Chains A and B, each alone.
Chain A
């Protein structure tokens, strides 16, 4: 059973471009979470999704950021019109329904130049 897969591992975007980050949860996991980590800082919750539903997006900026977890395919975190302050590591985690801990992917490191 492969772990949580995130791609790309590294992503460079110019200011104003769009960034798309993908997360394939572990097999059988229907819950997906996205976190952002700035250098030398902790993880900040962004959004919690179940298949086709956003459960909690309280940590996600209201503008430019969106997330989805379609019935088929990976979860996508989309950042439009990126700015330098969006540069960070973005981690995805997944868990089965009614499970306690979440399992993390290796992260996508976004650099905005």
Chain B
């Protein structure tokens, strides 16, 4: 079975500071990894994905994430946070070796960026 852990319910950061939202995963095969963002009363918006290749992937709105196979992690990062980045962030995994196409989500991390 595949699973995702987001150990922090909430991350607080001051505007202009770097931010990190943590994610670790477990799959039996190779992972496909994703980050989504959810604003209040909205659906999930895709931010970025890791499929293969460079461990550092860049996505929308200046976000990036680093795939670390040995630590089974895929932390989301941004060099300089904006107040408008405040939202709920979800990490998700899919098993590349599983014929099913199901995404498994972590519990979410609320990012609060203060002016």
A binds B: yes
Known: A43-B90, A91-B43. A102 touches B103 (CB 8 A): yes
Q: How large is the interface on A (under 10, 10 to 19, 20 to 34, 35 or more residues)?
A: 20 to 34
A69 within 8 A of B: no
Q: Which of A56, A103, A104 contacts B102 (CB 8 A)?
A: A56
The answer to whether B107 touches A41 (Cβ under 8 A) is: yes
Q: Which of B32, B42, B104 contacts A106 (CB 8 A)?
A: B42
CA distance A101 to B51 in the complex (A): 10
Q: Give per-residue flags for A67-85: 1 if the beta carbon is below 8 A from chain B beta carbons, else 0.
A: 0000000000000000000
Which chain B positions have C-beta within 8 A of A56?
100, 102
The answer to whether A42 touches B44 (Cβ under 8 A) is: no
Q: Which of A100, A104, A105 contacts B94 (CB 8 A)?
A: A100
CA distance A10 to B46 in the complex (A): 23
Which chain A positions have C-beta within 8 A of B104?
45
Which chain B positions have C-beta within 8 A of A31?
101
Q: Which of A4, A33, A106 contacts B103 (CB 8 A)?
A: A33
Q: Give per-residue flags for B86-115: 1 if the beta carbon is below 8 A from chain A beta carbons, else 0.
A: 000010001000001111111110000000
Distance in angstroms from A62 CB to nearest chain B CB is 18
B22 within 8 A of A: no
Q: Which of B34, B41, B46, B101 contacts A48 (CB 8 A)?
A: B101
CA distance A44 to B107 in the complex (A): 9
